């Protein structure tokens, strides 16, 4: 009996190149949180480089846990794990409230360790939420994941620094457009292996094209050390403060919610639907990876939605490919010079490739919604309202500005709010108090129901 494509082991060269493609797709998302938090603390350039390398190293370890797995830990799906961006706001808040900035990272690390351990214990209970994720919910959430990621690609396309004079310039947008065009042409006119690594080739060609425009900076390679190990507790032993722990526990709940949605999405894409056991194992990998991460000076880890789009587009479903990507992340953590090679790729070039990757996620969600019985007005309302709620943080970023910072951790995540809305609306419309008035075939919710109208016009039976 042939192995499922998820368990397929590809030739070494193909494994390496496609694994590197996954790293390229998520690199910016991994390094952004340590750069932001490190800058808020005022770390030196050396310590900032160390913190970034540590986050790459721990992302690789978490990816191994998720893809290869041990015991009941790991979804064993092609998931890349890395630093969750949901923790950036509360971590910077912790930094701001810490009088001695040298204590900020130990306090953050202590809070992440506790949140990770509590999340690990809660995983078997949290996974039971799968029963509340029928196609109408999963399709909505998958679509929201793609839509929520697209602004990231648009931001990359404009440039790395919003305060720079060339941010959003014709040159930057042109580089993004050219990269997008290259990926599309490769996908359309090539076959086999070349077609599968179209994104990676697009990033390489786009980077080369950017050189004459001065958009490619090789400085990070020249300045990086060849070898560097993330020494345990480099910034000091973890400290445990209640307010910080509560804050990171909220982030952990958000992260587990998004990871559940991501696992459901990826399970659909790779044709291995995620059941309760898979989700529980995946959440254990997320939470254990998060608890271990501070040991090596890393932050909270979570599944990366960016890579779902890459799996959907390339059709390469092997978890060992992503494990190879995890190997590259570990090597980058141990070799800052290797990590800096990915940093050479200009942000606009990443943005052009991101449009394809993240748009593919949204398209996968739409495919799932096709199976969601949208001929029923209940389901149309669930999708309509949930998408609207989930898009609020994207279209109106300051919508929840008057809410407490803790509440905004959840509210500012369109994936989390849209997911909660979809689950609750599905319960209300499709489960609670169902009776004969729930028609199976009805019209659009904004139109009059023809069958109901005809019934009212019909004369009463004698």
pLDDT score, position 28: 65
Per the domain annotation, does 308 fall within a domain? yes
Q: What is the mean pLDDT of residues 330-353?
A: 79
The CA-based angle 357-360-363, given to 5 degrees, is 160
pLDDT at 335 over 50: yes
Q: Look at 204-213, 248-257, 274-283, 325-334 and tell me which has the smallest mean pLDDT.
A: 248-257
Between 392 and 220, residue with greater pLDDT: 392
- What's the structural domain count of the chain? 1
pLDDT score, position 434: 59
Please spell the DSSP secondary structure of 125-172, one letter per residue: HHGGGGGG--HHHHHHHHHHHHHHHHHHHHHHHH-S-TTSTTTT-HHH
The contacts of residue 291 (CB under 8 Å, 6+ apart) are 112, 113, 116, 117, 120
| Of residues 255, 254, 269, 361, the one with CA closest to residue 319 | 269
Kindly compute the dihedral angle of the four CA atoms of residues 344, 51, 355, 146, in this order, to the nearest 10 degrees.
170
Per the domain annotation, does 436 fall within a domain? no
Per the domain annotation, does 115 fall within a domain? yes
Per the domain annotation, does 135 fall within a domain? yes
- Phi, psi torsion values for 81, nearest 5 degrees: -110, 145
Q: How confident is the model at residue 444 (pLDDT cuts 50, 70, 90)?
A: very low
Does this model's pTM top 0.75?
Answer: no
Between 124 and 455, residue with greater pLDDT: 124
Per the domain annotation, does 455 fall within a domain? no
pLDDT score, position 2: 59
| Structural domain range at position 405 | 5-430
pLDDT score, position 445: 42
Encode 236-267: b = buried (16+ Cβ within 10 Å), e = exposed.
eebbebeebbebbbbbbbbbbbbbbbbbbbbb
**Separation of alpha carbons 269 and 263, rounded Å:** 10
**Separation of alpha carbons 30 and 312, rounded Å:** 21
Q: What is the mean pLDDT of residues 2-28?
A: 81
Compute CA 313 distance to the chain's CA centroid, rounded to the nearest angstrom. 16
pLDDT at 342 over 80: no
| Of residues 319, 317, 422, the one with CA closest to residue 379 | 422
Between 237 and 47, residue with greater pLDDT: 237
CB 39: neighbour CB atoms within 10 A? 12
pLDDT score, position 316: 84
Q: What is the mean pLDDT of residues 4-15?
A: 85
- Phi, psi torsion values for 303, nearest 5 degrees: -65, 140
- Phi, psi torsion values for 301, nearest 5 degrees: -105, 150
**Separation of alpha carbons 258 and 327, rounded Å:** 24
Could you tell me the sign of the dihedral formed by the alpha carbons of 376, 129, 325, 48, in that order? positive
Per the domain annotation, does 204 fall within a domain? yes
Per the domain annotation, does 444 fall within a domain? no
pLDDT score, position 295: 92
Query: To the nearest whole percent, how much of the chain has pLDDT over 70?
Result: 87
**Separation of alpha carbons 149 and 367, rounded Å:** 18
Between helices 170-189 and 135-158, what is the axis angle to 10°? 130
């Amino acid at each position: 009996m042939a192995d499922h494509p998820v368990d397929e082991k590809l030739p070494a060269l193909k494994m390496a190149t496609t694994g590197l493609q996954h790293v390229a797709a998520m690199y910016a998302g991994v390094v952004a949180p340590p750069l932001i938090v490190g800058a808020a603390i005022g770390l030196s350039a050396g310590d900032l480089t160390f913190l970034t390398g540590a986050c790459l190293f721990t992302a690789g370890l978490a990816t191994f846990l998720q893809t290869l797995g041990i015991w009941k830990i790991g979804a064993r799906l092609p998931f890349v794990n890395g630093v969750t961006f949901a923790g950036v706001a509360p971590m910077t808040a912790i930094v701001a409230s810490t009088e001695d900035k040298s204590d900020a990272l130990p306090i953050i690390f202590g809070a992440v360790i506790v949140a990770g351990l509590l999340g690990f214990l809660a995983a078997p209970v949290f996974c039971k939420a799968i029963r509340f994720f029928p196609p109408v919910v999963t399709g909505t959430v998958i679509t929201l994941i793609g839509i929520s990621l697209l602004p990231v690609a648009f931001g990359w396309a404009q440039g790395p620094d919003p305060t720079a004079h060339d941010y959003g310039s014709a040159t930057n947008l042109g580089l993004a457009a050219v990269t997008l065009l290259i990926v599309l042409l490769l996908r359309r006119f090539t076959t086999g292996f070349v077609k599968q690594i179209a994104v990676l080739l697009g990033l390489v060609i786009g980077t080369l094209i950017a050189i004459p425009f001065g958009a490619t900076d090789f400085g990070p390679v020249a300045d990086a050390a060849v070898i560097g190990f993330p020494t345990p507790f480099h910034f000091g032993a973890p400290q445990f403060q209640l307010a910080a722990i509560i804050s990171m526990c909220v982030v952990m709940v958000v992260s587990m919610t998004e990871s559940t949605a991501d696992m459901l999405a990826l399970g659909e894409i790779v044709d291995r639907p995620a059941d309760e056991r898979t989700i529980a194992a995946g959440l254990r990998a997320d939470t254990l990876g998060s608890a271990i991460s501070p040991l090596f000076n890393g932050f909270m880890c979570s599944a990366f939605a960016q890579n779902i789009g890459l799996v959907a587009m390339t059709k390469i479903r092997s978890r060992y490919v992503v494990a190879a990507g995890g190997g590259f992340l570990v090597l980058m953590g141990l070799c800052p010079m290797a990590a800096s090679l990915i940093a050479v790729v200009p942000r606009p070039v990443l943005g052009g490739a991101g449009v394809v990757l993240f748009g593919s996620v949204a398209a996968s969600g739409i495919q799932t919604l096709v199976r969601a019985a949208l001929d029923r007005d209940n389901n149309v309302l669930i999708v309509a309202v949930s998408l609207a709620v989930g898009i609020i943080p994207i279209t109106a970023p300051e919508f929840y500005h008057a809410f407490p910072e803790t509440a905004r951790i959840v509210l500012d995540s369109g994936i989390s709010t849209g997911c909660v809305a979809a689950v609750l609306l599905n319960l209300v419309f499709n489960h609670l108090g169902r009776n004969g008035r729930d028609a199976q075939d009805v019209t659009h919710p904004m139109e009059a129901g023809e069958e109901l109208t005809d019934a009212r016009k019909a004369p009463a039976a004698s």
